[in-house]
Amino acid sequence: MQHISLYRRWRPQTFEEVIGQSHITKTLANAIRYNQLSHAFIFCGPRGTGKTSTARILAKSINCEQGPTPNACNQCQSCIQISNGTCLDVIEIDAASNRGIDEIRALRDKIHFSPATVRTKVYIIDEVHMLTTEAFNALLKILEEPPSHVIFVLATTEPNKVLPTIMSRCQRFDFNPISVDVIMRKLRLVAQKEELEIPEDALRLVARHAAGSLRDAEGALEQMASFSGKRITVEDVQTVLGVVDVALLFEAGDLFIEKDAAEALFLVNRLFESGRDLRQFTRELLEHLRILMIIQNVDDPRSILDCSQEEMERYRAQASLLRDGEVQRFLHLFGETYREMRWDSNPRLLLELAMVKAMKVDADDSREALLARLEALESMIEKDRGSGLLRDRPDIASRVVQQKREGREPEESLAPREPAPAHGRAGSSPGPGHAVDLASQKPISFPERPDGAYSQSETTAPTLEPTTPEGKVDITEIKKKWQAILERVREKRIPTHALLLEGSPLDFRNGELTIEFDSIFHIHKEKVEKGEHKRIVEAALAEMTGEAIRIKCVIAAPSSPKPQVESIYQHQETDEESGGKARDETRERATKEVEKETREEEKGDSPKSLKNSVDPIELIKARFKAKVVQKIDLKDEEKLWK
């Protein structure tokens, strides 16, 4: 006996069995019930969504001996004949093979004969988009006013190729791709009837692989059945369908976070040597990145993505460690690579190149990469402004950024830790319970102070001491850390940073920080005080101070002058006045000296007068501007921007 494919064996035979298209089956059933059936339909939709099946069921419903009824009996002569495709009056035409005007003329000649065995002749014209223009036009007149004993059902996957004049003469039904859940339900049923044993995870893999097409899903299930027999495992599915192991994708994602080009190359070659299809890997990597991008941008990603809770958690963890811009860059990069793989015979090289470019922004000359480099530059300058310490040390700056990213999770960066070893995770906070401020995150090797304040033998990363008494957070401390907080916000989300820049901390009590905005920045204020921005600011505050802090935004009274962002130096003085710990003082003096030193060696042209001015921000700005001008000059000389 001939083996019949699952998708043919389990072709739906009644409207109820057509899954995922209730908007269509209900309409048709009701039209039959109330005898309001149109004479021409066009079914549009992607492969495997039930177009041909619905057309046949429609033919049966109309012609069933019990009917016309929405529930064809599937037992009478005509139902059986239609199911078998032997009914003389239900004519299925393959428009793709019979696409010329002659075929349509033949059809037109025969159409006026009354049906031989049943009530209504049904013409099912499948793949109708392949008819030639002449054929389409020849069809127009019959389609508009067919004899009363004729119904047309056209079916196509590409409605855009069907003439509008045809479309307007038909009732159009759009079949939707079927969701993973619905496919799974159907597969479960089929598996049960076929006595296949298949775990839920494997079923999900098959359903996802089908991408909305039930025929693909049932085909894959059948393929599984002939491969594994009655018991199908997840591994079998992965093998037969060539589905990439999710673990590999997460591994790649981790490498993107770590920027480890060598490991990435190892990964590609491991895949290559094991004979994996690199193009498929790239495609699934794109899908993985897409999920990360959605998570980064959508509040409730589960409404878009269908994956289990634990998967979602893993994705979320990875998404939180990548910047959005970065994910977009990867998407562009690998999308391009995926497209090129179509024409290029050397997918390994293409994937390797893409990986290197992903890890090393310098090697990528795309627009997105330039943007990323520009952003890195900006953040370096910003940091410069924040601390004055990282100037001229881009190598360190980028290391700091990376280390901070690694230690982004608040628990981790706030957790008690041993003094960091020289090359270890120098970015982490040294003492228990201390808020991490920017200064303490620098793995800079301070030159040993002559006063021996902290000549701590081997440790190049100095164990910096807290700048405030432990525990309590107060407004002075927040003000002092404001730059660092801004910086943290910037890392989280640049737009939020831009908004927050216009505000300044005013007051802090009962766990609520009041941020003041000048009246001209009322829009900034309104944005910061709600939604995502608020959440980010509060998260940054929590990370930097170690306490949960709510924020409240107010508009400054017009009369009062805009309060200056107070300088680090002023705070240090306050601290000293209030009798901070002796060690703090030493440390601060040290920091100050380092800063002074860097400032002095910086350049002679920095206006000396500004140095003692009240507002050190101005001082920094002046210096910072000078530096940027110089950099641009340099670039101009090299004509790099040409």
Binding site for another protein (CB under 8 A): 2-3, 5, 8, 46-48, 85, 94, 96-97, 99, 126-127, 129-130, 157, 213, 215-216, 219, 222-223, 225-229, 239-242, 261-262, 265-266, 269, 272-277, 279, 340, 342-346, 348-350, 352-353, 356-357, 360, 362-365
Instruction: Tell me the closest approach of the beta carbon of residue 490 to another protein, in angstroms.
Output: 28
Q: Which is nearer to another protein, 49 or 572 (CB)?
A: 49
Q: Which is nearer to another protein, 299 or 365 (CB)?
A: 365
Q: Which is nearer to another protein, 7 or 521 (CB)?
A: 7
- SS3 category, 509: strand
Q: How many residues does the chain have?
A: 642
Q: Which is nearer to another protein, 257 or 610 (CB)?
A: 257
Nearest-angstrom CA–CA distance, 641 and 368: 16
DSSP calls for 220-270: HHHHHHHHHTTB--HHHHHHHHTPPPHHHHHHHHHHHHHT-HHHHHHHHHH
Q: Which two tokens stand for residue 261?
A: 């080009």
Q: Which residues of 203-221 are buried (b: 16+ CB within 10 A; e: fewer)?
A: bbbbbbbbebbbbbbbbbb
Instruction: Tell me the closest approach of the beta carbon of residue 136 to another protein, in angstroms.
Output: 15
Rounded to 5°, angle at Cα 524 from 522 and 527:
110
Q: Which two tokens stand for residue 106?
A: 């033949």
Q: Which is nearer to another protein, 259 or 562 (CB)?
A: 259
Instruction: Tell me the closest approach of the beta carbon of residue 277 to another protein, in angstroms.
Output: 6
Instruction: Tell me the closest approach of the beta carbon of residue 585 to another protein, in angstroms.
Output: 47
Instruction: Tell me the closest approach of the beta carbon of residue 224 to another protein, in angstroms.
Output: 10
Which residue has tokens 């010329």?
100
Instruction: Tell me the closest approach of the beta carbon of residue 470 to another protein, in angstroms.
Output: 45
Helix 347-359 with 261-273: angle, nearest 10 deg: 160
Instruction: Tell me the closest approach of the beta carbon of residue 587 to another protein, in angstroms.
Output: 40
Q: Which is nearer to another protein, 30 or 269 (CB)?
A: 269
Nearest-angstrom CA–CA distance, 623 and 612: 14
**Within 13 Å of residue 535, how many CA atoms lie on the same side as its CB?**
4
Instruction: Tell me the closest approach of the beta carbon of residue 109 to another protein, in angstroms.
Output: 22
Q: Which is nearer to another protein, 262 or 634 (CB)?
A: 262
Q: Which is nearer to another protein, 335 or 419 (CB)?
A: 335
Which residue has tokens 């959508």?
298
Instruction: Tell me the closest approach of the beta carbon of residue 270 to another protein, in angstroms.
Output: 9
Measured from the Cβ of residue 438, the count of other Cβ atoms closer than 10 Å reads: 21
Q: Which is nearer to another protein, 72 or 241 (CB)?
A: 241
Q: Which two tokens stand for residue 198?
A: 């298949």
Measured from the Cβ of residue 152, the count of other Cβ atoms closer than 10 Å reads: 24
Nearest-angstrom CA–CA distance, 4 and 26: 30
499, 535, 536, 494: which is closest to 518 by C-alpha? 499
